Structure 1
Amino acid sequence: MKIKLLKTAGLVAVSSMLAFSQAALAEINISGWINEGVIFYDDGVGSDVVQSTDNGTTLASRITFAGSTDLDGLEAGFEVIIEPRAVNTPLIFANQDSSFGSGGGAFGDSNGHTLGVLGSSLYVKGAGGKLTVGLQSMPTDNIAVLEDPSLTLWSGISPVFRSNGFTIQNANDNVTPVWGDFLNCFTAPLLRGAGGIGIDCNGIYRQGVRYDLPAFGPVGIAIGWANDDIYDIAAKYKGNMGSVTTQFAIGYAINQGVNVAHYSEAENLQLQLGLAHAQTGLFGSFAYQHEEADLNIAAIGNLADSATAFRIATAADVVADTALAAPLGFAAGDLIVPVGHEAGNASDESDAWWFKVGIKKKWFSAGDTSVAFDYGIYYDQYGLNQAANGVTGSEVQRIGFSIDQYFGSSLIIYGKWEQLELEVDGTSTVAAYGSSEELNTFALGAVYFF
């Protein structure tokens, strides 16, 4: 249900002072959803349970304010999206930490939420398409996430959101990796480390301009440009092939303005296919992502006895090797690693695959019920610190099982079990990863739409 509100008398009084002969009173539509859950984890060393807003930022609670007006054959409008979220940054997803102070971590002991602005944009659309300007979802955002005709999105999607910030137990790694360190993105550098999500690696709202071409039947095409030389293009198909509902999306993005020490440009290709058969209730969704980056890592010879990567804070500051900085031509902000651990060890491309299959039927009078299994595998998304410690390849396997119960069109209650497992290739120094523990989580959540 959407709530429609007229502008108040106070706003009318203000608008009457503007230099317009008439001030149009637009309606504001308020819509969105609230997503809350209780999440249990077992990381092989400890376990806990907590109540938390569930499953990342895109599918976590959100409230959208939207309005539009007619302009002689055109439509102009706006959209503002806010998210009630935990006090700590939404890019540092679930973790075991309870010491973040005010707000705590996802498994912290503190309380508190804040309102974050996810998007704020204006648009004009007509027979020639739609032009949107502002902080918004760009064409390849969610391009390998939302093409699931079963709409079982809140229990399971291709990116990893529930476990990114968890420390990998018994890895015996001196840089204390978290699961997100092996789910790193190139195209959106914010989605690295504890924010690594594995797929949907251009999946953040950006300041930019987006143009959606007029629809070609069931096919839609959009192009976008965002600040700092980020470009993308995407195409989507939604239709029916016989009795099978079919959705397909493909997108390409390039970020030529990366502000990261060890690479300056990244490319991203993603696709997703979703199928659903109404008569049997069977459905499936398949997603794939490939990323590449241009590395610019240097090495310093006499650091070969160290296994740590260093960042130069100033041109004359290279930890204990101060005298080496200027003669070797390093500049402030450059990243250096020991010989034998330079660019050859760092990952410059990665692949990720994910699929979900299930059945969705109305077995109960309350509404549809879905049962689904999903599996994902995320290759070579390890971070630079892991490369500097001898990692040459990585694989995160993800297995999940979910049940969703629908109550009309307003409420979903779901349960989702998920397991992450890590395998690592590299020099003898990475053998410690072989003893790393699996991570198991179970989320019991609900989504209410309004």
Structure 2
Amino acid sequence: MNKKSCYAFGWLAASVVSTLAAAPAVRAADLSGDCCADLEERIAELEATTARKGNRKVSLTISGYIAQEITVWDDGDERNAYVHGLGPTQTSHVKFNGKATISPGWTAGYMLRIQDLTGNAFGGGADAINQNNATKNDNLNTQMSFWYLESENYGKVSVGRLAHAAKSAAMFTDLSGTQIIDNYTFLAGFPQFRLREASGALSPLTWGQLGFCYTQGVPLGGDCNGIVMNGVRYDTPVFAGFSASASWGEDDFWEVGLRYAGTLAGFKLAFGAGYTEMSSEATSAFVPTLTPKDSHFFQVGGYAEHLATGLFIHGAYGNEDNNDTLLANGFTEPDSEHYYVKAGIRRKWLPLGATVVYGDYAAYLDQLGPAALAAGATSSTLERFGGGVAQEIDAAAMTLYLKYQHYQADVDGLTEFEDADFVSFGGLIAF
């Protein structure tokens, strides 16, 4: 074998080994001559730098997306522009999914989801993103971590920190391609921005105090049990497009959900409903109470898209009953409701991918937070309307979008407030 052939053979062998690095190491052939003396060293180097796949029994799939926005805002007195991420559960993240076959029809697996909360527009506290602060970096966060057992015939049981049976049952029916970037929660908004009084002064109250959910004690607006928690969940198999779920969490809460997805008579359809009873001490810690926590939340949502034209409509409704729970500040948690509608068109006008044009409207009624009640508010209506355009780029698994949101509020018992406007340009790229 001449020197040139020997080097060619060496590089070929190294390439094969790098492809099959998850398998046991292959010993190099006993080739004579100095030309291939470094072959085993090269193979060892490639093995050391190759990503491995699970433990040969449990597969590993890595996925997620990166999402960031530039937002120009105007609160009626001040204007500025910020660069930020999305709120939790919608933010940039990476997921590690594992799966193994136990026997025909039976599988086991796990999921670990880590969020990047850099530029968290939803996060509260002294450093929240508002008129006085442009950024909030909550760094990495383990949002979900659970294992599961699944049977094709009997369903799936999951244990750990997970999304529960009714979580986002209404919101996730939005199949327009814009659910992540614009929905009926404050996860796609700015709950920590402070209200601007008609006098021009900044109020100590935030917009989130007019879209407050007591079920989990945070200003979610809609989807009042949208934060994942520890617990156990069971999902039935899908039958004719329908599936049902039930879950329980420690100390204590329970919830049930029903979902449907399918096509009928030329329409893409989705439906979801959920019911939650929450008395968990974990959520009570966010909003201290004098009487035991007892929040009930019902939600329902749906989506219909005419496949021939791309015209679609999505709606969601939520109702929270707090059963006269007494807050630590002496006020009673109010019962509240909210509703949302989004309509538009989804068509592939460009070879890049589908274009989505939409408008939306949301109303949050009497969702007064503890600070708003303490300030003297007795009832409220927060309205949010706007719309946007999103362009999907199929070749890059990417979406670019431009959206507009307008906030306005009518609060009995308090002064008048200025409206606020937010225009955001953003991108989301999946992997």
Normalising to structure 1: TM-score of the pair? Answer: 0.77
Aligned twin of 2:48 = none
1:36-435 equivalences in 2 (<5 Å): 36-54=68-86, 56-73=87-104, 74-86=106-118, 91-92=123-124, 94-98=129-133, 107-108=134-135, 114-126=139-151, 127-161=153-187, 162-170=189-197, 176-189=204-217, 191=218, 196-258=219-281, 259=284, 260-261=288-289, 264-297=293-326, 335-337=328-330, 342-343=331-332, 347-408=333-394, 410-426=397-413, 430=414, 432=415, 434=416
SS of aligned partner of 1:66: strand
- Per-residue CA shift, 1:23-44, capped at 9, x if unaligned? 7543210011111111111111
Amino acid at match of 1:188: Q
**Percent of aligned positions with the same letter in both sequences?**
26
- The 3 A distance-change label for structure 1 pair 174 and 57 is closer
Partners of 1:376 and 1:366 lie apart in 2 by 31
Query: 1:411-448: CA deviations, max 9, x gaps?
Result: 1000011011010123xxx2x1x2x1111101100110
Q: 1:415 to 1:336 in 2, by over 3 A?
A: closer
Question: How far is 1:95 from its partner?
Answer: 2.0
By how many angstroms is 1:113 displaced?
A: 6.3
2:34 corresponding residue in structure 1: none
Aligned partners of 2:58 and 2:374: how far apart in 1? 57
CA distance in 1: counterparts of 2:419 and 2:429, whole angstroms: 32
Higher helix fraction (1 or 2): 2
Stretch moving more, 352-361 or 152-161 = 152-161
Give, in angstroms, the shift of residue 170 of structure 1: 1.2
Query: 1:143–1:271: 8 Å Cα contact kept in structure 2?
Result: yes
Report the Cα offset of residue 408 of structure 1: 1.0
> Closer, same or farther in 2 for the Cα pair 1:44/1:262, shift >3 Å?
farther
Q: Distance in 2 between matches of 1:120 and 1:442?
A: 35
For 2:109 and 2:205, the matched residues in 1 are separated by 45
SS at match of 2:208: helix
Q: Deviations over 1:77-107 (max 9, x none)?
A: 0100001122779533742232xxxxxxxx1
Between the aligned partners of 2:398 and 2:205, the Cα distance in structure 1 is: 37
CA distance in 2, matches of 1:32, 1:425: 43
Map Cα deviations across residues 215-269 of structure 1 (whole Å, 9 max, x no partner): 2221010000012211000000111220111100000000023523155110000
Report the secondary structure of 2:186's partner residue. Answer: coil
Change (3 A) 1:296 1:447: closer
- Aligned mates of 1:163, 1:271 — CA distance in 2: 24
Change in Cα spacing, 1:393 to 1:241, as seen in structure 2 (3 Å) is same
Structure 1 residue ranges (4+ consecutive) displaced by more than 6 angstroms after TM superposition: 4-10, 171-175
1:438 to 402, 413, 419: 419
Which stretches in structure 2 are left out of the alignment for 5+ residues?
A: 1-18, 26-54
Cα distance in 2 between the residues matched to 1:26 and 1:53:
33
Q: Tell me how far apart the structure 2 counterparts of residues 87 and 52 of structure 1 sit (CA, whole Å).
A: 4
Q: Does the 8 Å CA contact 1:186/1:292 hold for their aligned counterparts?
A: no
Question: Shift of the alpha carbon at 1:386?
Answer: 2.3
- Tell me the CA shift for residue 186 of structure 1: 1.6
1:295 aligned counterpart, secondary structure: coil
- Which amino acid counterpart does residue 310 of structure 2 have in structure 1? G
Contact 2:194 2:203 in 1 (8 A): no
How many Å separate the matches in 1 of 2:197 and 2:95?
A: 43
Larger Rg: 2
5+ long unaligned stretches in structure 1:
11-22, 99-106, 298-333
Q: 1:372 to 1:296 in 2, by over 3 A?
A: closer
**How many angstroms apart in 1 are the aligned matches of 2:425 and 2:245?**
36
Contact 2:68 2:426 in 1 (8 A): yes
Deviation at 1:154, TM superposition (A): 3.0
Distance 1:262 1:200 in 2: 25
Conserved 8 A contact 2:362-2:384 = yes
Report the counterpart of residue 6 of structure 2 in structure 1: none
Q: C-alpha separation between the residues in 2 aligned to 1:136 and 1:381?
A: 26
Report the Cα distance in structure 2 between the residues aligned to 1:355 and 1:88, rounded to whole angstroms: 26
Contact 1:396 1:423 in 2 (8 A): yes
Structure 1 residue 354, shift from structure 2 partner: 0.4
1:5 is displaced (CA, Å) by 11
Residue 349 to residue 88, structure 1, CA distance change in 2 (3 Å):
same
